[in-house]
């Protein structure tokens, strides 16, 4: 049985993950994932497999100029983390957008095995 993560570990994992996301660094995002991780962004279909998730994130990152997350809350129980906040996008035309998001993360051996992001990116 895997030892449950602490509140401090959950906070550190989320901070480190979103630093990689905000750098638009898909390969670094992959370092947080299990080999068979599952990823779902909004109402898009789920993607399975670390390499597929890295590729999907890389493609999305190319569609924007910058992204910055502000984490407002983090909740942790056992090996599950929920976070909520705001994401600030800068489009390629330099216009900006700020929208709320939340994420649900299920961990396995300290890595993300199920990665669900709830955000409406249709205004992008």
Q: Where are the domains of the chain?
A: 7-118
Between the CA atoms of 28, 31, 32 and 36, what dihedral angle is there, to the nearest 10 degrees? 130
Radius of gyration of the chain (CA): 14
pLDDT digits (tens, 9 = 90+) for 35-58: 999 999 999 999 999 999 999 999
CATH no., domain 7-118: 3.10.450.50
Q: What is the pLDDT of residue 52?
A: 98
Residue 2 pLDDT more than 70? no
pLDDT digits (tens, 9 = 90+) for 67-96: 999 999 999 999 999 999 999 999 999 999
């Amino acid at each position: 049985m895997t030892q449950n993560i602490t509140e401090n570990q959950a906070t550190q994992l989320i901070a480190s993950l979103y630093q990689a996301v905000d750098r638009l660094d898909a390969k670094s995002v992959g370092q947080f994932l299990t080999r068979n991780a599952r990823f779902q962004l909004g109402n898009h279909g789920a993607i399975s497999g670390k390499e597929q998730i890295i590729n999907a994130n890389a493609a999305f990152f190319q569609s924007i100029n910058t992204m910055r997350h502000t984490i407002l809350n983090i909740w942790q129980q056992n090996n599950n983390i929920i976070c909520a906040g705001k994401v600030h996008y800068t489009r390629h035309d330099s216009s900006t957008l700020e929208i709320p998001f939340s994420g649900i993360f299920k961990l396995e051996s300290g890595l993300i095995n199920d990665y669900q992001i709830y955000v409406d990116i249709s205004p992008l």
